[in-house]
Amino acid sequence: MKATIWPANIDLKKTEKEGRKIPRKYAVNSPKLREISRAASKLGLNPEVENDKSYSKSWWENSGRVVVDKKQPKRDILIKISNMIKGFRKT
Over the stretch 23-69, which tens digit does the pLDDT of each residue have?
A: 999 999 999 999 999 999 999 999 999 999 999 888 888 899 999 99
- pTM (global) more than 0.85: yes
Range of the domain at 71: 2-90
pLDDT given at position 91: 67
pLDDT value of residue 68: 97
Which CATH number does the domain housing residue 47 bear? 3.30.56.30
Number of domains composing the chain: 1
Phi-psi region at 68: left, alpha or beta (left = phi > 0; alpha = psi -120 to 50): beta
